[in-house]
Chain A
Amino acid sequence: MSTQISPAGPVPAGPHPTPRLRRRNPQRPAWEEPPSFLGQLGKGTALTLLVLAVLFPMWSVVVTSLASRETINDTGGMVVVPREIDLSAYFSIFSGGTITQAVWISTLVTVAGTTVSLALTVLAAYGLSRPGSVAHRGLLFLFLGTFLIFPGLVPSYLVVTGLGLKDSLWSLILPSAISVFNLVVIRAFFMNVPGELLDSARIDGAGEFRILWTIMLPLSRAVIAVVGLFYAVGYWNAYFNSVLFIDDNSKFPIQRVLQSYILAGQSPNVSGSSISLPGVTAYPPTLAVKMAVVVVTVLPAVIAYPFVQRHFTKGVITGAVKG
Chain B
Amino acid sequence: MSRTDVPAPSPADQHRSAGDGPADPRARRRRRAKRPLGARLRRDWPLLAMVAPAALLLLVFHYLPTLGNVIAFQDYNPFVGDDPLEAFLYSEWVGFGNFEVLFRDPLFWDAVRNTLTITAFQLVFFFPLPIFLAILLNSVLSGRIRGFVQSVVYLPHFFSWVLVITFFVQMFGGAGLLAQEMRQAGLEPWNIMTNPDTFIILVTAESVWKDVGWGAIVFLAALSAIDQNLYEAAAADGAGRWRRLWHITLPGLRPVIVLLLILRLGDALSVGFEQFILQRDAVGRQAAEVLDTFVYHNAIATQQWGQGAAAGLFKAVIGLILIVAANKMAHKLGEQGVYSRS
Contacts and interface: CB of A to CB of B under 8 A. Distances in A.
Given A132-B33, A155-B71, A255-B160, A123 B278 contact: no
Interface in A228-260: 230, 233-234, 236-240, 243-244, 255, 258-259
Interface stretch (B107-115, B118-126, B171-179, B195-203): B171-179
Nearest to A152: B312
B209 A46 contact: no
B158 A305 contact: yes
Contact of B50 (A126, A185, A238): A126
A168 to B, nearest CB: 14
Nearest to B241: A33
A4 interface: yes
A152 B23 contact: no
Interface string A100-131: 00000000000000000000110110111011
A194 B22 CA distance: 9
Interface in A6-26: 13-17, 19, 21, 25
Interface string B268-290: 00000110011101100000000
Interface string A152-193: 111111111111000000000011111111111101100110
Interface residues of A, number: 129
Interface in B123-150: 133, 136-143, 145-146, 148-149
B265 interface: no
Contact of B217 (A27, A148, A160, A316): A316
Contacts of B32: 132-133
A174 B170 contact: no
B251 interface: no
B268 to A, nearest CB: 13
Contact of A47 (B33, B149, B154, B167): B149
- Classify the secondary structure of B's interface with A: helix
A183 B9 CA distance: 11
Contacts of B143: 14, 16, 27
8 contacts: A3-B11, A132-B28, A139-B51, A151-B64, A157-B300, A233-B158, A255-B162, A313-B220
Given A179-B1, A239-B162, A263-B165, 8 more contacts: A4-B11, A47-B140, A78-B170, A159-B64, A239-B160, A262-B166, A294-B167, A321-B8
Interface of B: 1, 5-9, 11-16, 21-23, 25, 28-29, 32-33, 37, 40-41, 44, 46-51, 53-55, 57-69, 71, 78, 83-85, 133, 136-143, 145-146, 148-149, 151-156, 158-163, 165-167, 169-171, 175-177, 180, 183-184, 209, 213-214, 217-218, 220-225, 228-229, 231-232, 235-236, 240-241, 255-256, 259, 273-274, 277-279, 281-282, 292, 295-296, 299-300, 305, 308-309, 312-313, 315-316, 319-320, 323, 336
